[in-house]
Amino acid sequence: MAFSMFLRTSGCQSRMFTQQAMRLATQPAITQRMISSSLPIRNIMKDTKTTPILNAIRSFRTSCVRRSAEKVEDHSRLWVIERVVSAALVPLIPLALMMPNKLFDSLLAILITAHSFWGLEAIAVDYVRASIFGPILPKIAIGLVYLISIATLGGLFYIISHDVGIANGIRQFWAIRSDAQKS
């Protein structure tokens, strides 16, 4: 377990470390080089297949986290960004309603769309699984999440640039009273 944790450290995930490990793992073992000098044993060893060391290490995992030298996904950073966006919405919403302008409306549109995108994406990934629905439906669900998010951001920017804006639109909506309340 300690060795697999060592391989997951940032120093072991660099491209140079991976290339060096692949070079060492794919070279014939030192014992094979020594044995290959003697002719009779060399013929016996010709038929055996050796497993590269690195493949043996990669097949031994203590968790389901998959690492790749080319693509390292760090979900902890995304988690922090999601929390920062959520925390930024708390003061931004009242601020945008108190002082409506295009800057606050644009920030509000971007942060609300990002916040809802991450929520809808989590729902699609968690509940529309390939093991239950097959390989095609989860991809369609994620595509719909992207489509909804793009349409939402486009619609909000249209309201900001061609109409009264988000904050003024909310103010006008709150100002609507029913006929029963007016009389």
Q: What is the pLDDT of residues 93-135, one digit of tens each?
A: 999 999 999 999 999 999 999 999 999 999 999 999 999 999 9
DSSP 178: -
Closest CA to 171 of 93, 116, 64: 93
Residues of the chain short of pLDDT 50, as ranges, are 1-6, 30-36, 38, 44-45, 47-48, 56-57, 60-61, 63, 68, 70
The model's pTM is: 0.58
The pLDDT of residue 177 is: 75
Long-range CB contact pairs, 163-167, < 8 A, 24+: 165/100, 165/101, 165/102, 165/105, 166/96, 166/100, 166/105, 166/108, 166/109, 167/96, 167/97, 167/100, 167/104, 167/105, 167/108
Structure tokens at 96: 């945008």
- Which residues 6+ apart lie within 8 Å of 88 measured at CB? 111
Which residues contribute to the annotated binding site for a ubiquinone? 127
Architecture of domain 75-181: Up-down Bundle (1.20)
The pLDDT of residue 143 is: 97
The pLDDT of residue 91 is: 96
Which residues contribute to the annotated binding site? 115, 127
Residue limits of CATH 1.20.1300.10 in the chain:
75-181
Which residues contribute to the annotated binding site for heme b? 115
The pLDDT of residue 35 is: 47
**Rounded Cα–Cα distance for residues 118 and 145 (Å):** 9
The pLDDT of residue 176 is: 86
Please give the backbone phi and psi of residue 15, each rounded to the nearest 5 degrees, phi first: -65, -40
The pLDDT of residue 76 is: 87
